[in-house]
Amino acid sequence: MLINMNRLIGQIVQRHKTATALVNIERRRQFTYLEMYRLTNKACHAITGRFGLRSGDFYATLLENDHMGFFHPWMFKCPVSAAWLDIRESRQVQLQQIDHVMPRLVFIERHLLRELLKPLLEREITIIVMDRPSQPNPGLFYFWDVIAACSDDEVDAELAYDDAQQHTALLRFTGGTTDNAKCAAYSLSNLWSWGMNPSHYIHVIPFASPRGMFFSPINHAASGSLIIPIFIKGGTVLTLNRADPEQIGQMIDEHQVQLIYAVPTILYRMLDVGLSKRNDLRSLQTVRYGGAPISPSKLEELLDQFGNVFVQGYGSSECWPSATILPREEHIRDSHNSRTHLNSVGQVVPGEELIICNEEGQKLPTGQKGEIYIRGANTISGYYRAPELTMQHFTPNSFWKSGDIGLINEDGFIYIIDRKKDMIITGGYNVYASEVENCLNSHPCVKNSAVVGLPDDTW
């Protein structure tokens, strides 16, 4: 199936031309939908025209949130494939990932040039720096100078929609929490199908023209997955480059933010500084959280302070990024069942398959613990330039093997027990670190905890 992403994006722009699409809070600048459309048309023509990249080539980004807002989701119309690299990784890891992807061009923040200019030039990679460089260099180009010289004509490209081998829309490296990072290859369908999933519009942003603020990197699957739904609804993406709880509270109040995404660690810090008592957060209608397990006792504290605004999702980079949702109505603590549901990651979202399998890959009955397998339109088909890893982590019938141990109860709620590799065997029993951590975190004197297993001759 082919699709013209410029036409699809342009149709949304037609409905919201003068609405504010992007606000870079630190830079005190904003862009309408029409301005973003024209700006990114110019960026596409720069990549393909001035610098001569073609279908099958890659450009890479090493950018903060404010500049990533120029790319996500606007640049999916470009026939050249993207690789979004993590600006927080070490320079050594970034170069390893660049060598794996082999981009011909990179968009980069100025402060990274001190360490990366020389190795990028040695690799004969064209460099576009987002802020004017302090010194000129033959291989270095200033973004806004490049943009000024390019046409804003429509980008006319028919792209393969649902086959990442025919057209890779995006490469992203997984977090690598248990192994070396793997390079996920996304089709346009992996990204856009999830952006159109009804769970967003029913549970996460059931309000018009949403104003969502993002301080976690929007090139990550979890926070980044909310950008397309906001775009489709004609809403506003507000960016911060750092997750400072005090600034977050001030900006929610000042910009009347309705939606934020936060990982549990940031939510705990928001608790610690008493954010709900220090700032007017009445505009905040949804706190979408995920990215790591949350302590049930801490979640109850958050509900006490912020009210019933929380929505959880579970997934990974391989299924961009969610397969389940725990909506706000399941956060109400008025019965034993609802309190039990707080320990879960919710139920499967529409259009997704989630099953529990044993070591042999056979589906297990309801209530039994096993590895979580996921399949859906947002699930990638494999890793870029890594056929052995693809065979190891994906089944022949396209399920992704998550590496998480979980179970599904009789009502369809999914409970994550632990990472498969984090299971501790002691005295012949399987002990899951997350279960011990949740018990410790429930004590009022414990702020947070981590459990690891150590070798023991007896146990």
Q: What is the pLDDT of residues 115-173, one digit of tens each?
A: 999 999 999 999 999 999 988 888 899 999 999 999 999 999 999 999 999 999 999 99
What's the mean pLDDT in 175-200?
A: 86
Q: Give Cβ neighbours of residue 317 (< 8 Å, ≥ 6 apart).
A: 172, 174, 175, 184, 221
The angle that helices 33-45 and 5-15 make with each other, rounded to 10 degrees, is 160
Residue 109 has pLDDT above 70, yes or no: yes
Residue-averaged pLDDT of the chain: 93
Q: List pLDDT tens digits, range 201-225.
A: 999 999 999 999 999 999 998 889 9
Please name the amino acid found at residue 62.
Answer: L
What's the mean pLDDT in 77-88?
A: 97
**pLDDT at residue 178, as a whole number:** 46
Residue 408 has pLDDT above 60, yes or no: yes
What's the mean pLDDT in 46-61?
A: 98
For 74-101, give one letter per residue: b (16+ CB within 10 A) or e.
bbbbbbbbbbbbbbebeeebbbebbeeb
What's the mean pLDDT in 229-239?
A: 98
What's the mean pLDDT in 229-238?
A: 98
Q: Give Cβ neighbours of residue 430 (< 8 Å, ≥ 6 apart).
A: 423, 424
Helix, strand, coil share (%) of the chain residues, nearest 5: 35, 25, 40
Q: Cα 270 to chain center, whole Å?
A: 21
Residue 345 has pLDDT above 50, yes or no: yes
Q: List pLDDT tens digits, range 356-380.
A: 999 999 999 999 999 999 999 999 9
Domains for the chain: give ranges and CATH numbers: 2-160 (3.40.50.12780), 191-441 (3.40.50.12780)
**pLDDT at residue 453, as a whole number:** 80
Confidence of residue 425 (pLDDT cuts 50, 70, 90): low
Q: Cα 289 to chain center, whole Å?
A: 11
* Model pTM score: 0.91
